[in-house]
Amino acid sequence: MRDIEKEIIDFIDQEYNTKKYFLFGAKRTITLDTSIRDDLKLVFEDSEELLQEYFKRWNVDQAQFEILDYLNPQYLGSKEPDPHKPLTVGLLVESAKVGYWLYS
């Protein structure tokens, strides 16, 4: 039986988890509570790439998913608060288990 949780955590850890201080230091530990935006600190394009690969690899119907609900193309120097919904590894795992985006 597939362990979707482990597969997704391993995928994110291997492909999108950088070292804590960019080129040095330990990598962050990826858990179900890891925030794609706040913990991984990916630029919008990398987050978008991660999500596209996720939807494809785990065959998750993305009809109910709107990336701008969760992520904002960042503008350098912007200090505005981010009102977006949290996007965690746990949300990805739960949606992959049922085959469609659970959260709208």
pLDDT per position as a tens digit, 67-94 = 988 888 765 555 556 667 899 999 999 9
What is the average per-residue pLDDT within 32-41?
A: 91
Distance CA 58, CA 93 (A): 9
Query: The domain containing residue 88 runs over which residues?
Result: 4-74+82-98
- pLDDT band with cut points at 50, 70 and 90 for residue 57: very high
- pLDDT band with cut points at 50, 70 and 90 for residue 19: low
Q: Would you say residue 104 lies in a domain?
A: no
Give the contacts of 47 (CB within 8 A, at least 6 positions apart): 36, 37, 40, 67, 71
- What's the domain count of the chain? 1
What does the pLDDT read at residue 37? 86
Give the contacts of 21 (CB within 8 A, at least 6 positions apart): none
Mean predicted lDDT score pLDDT of the chain: 87
Q: Would you say residue 25 lies in a domain?
A: yes
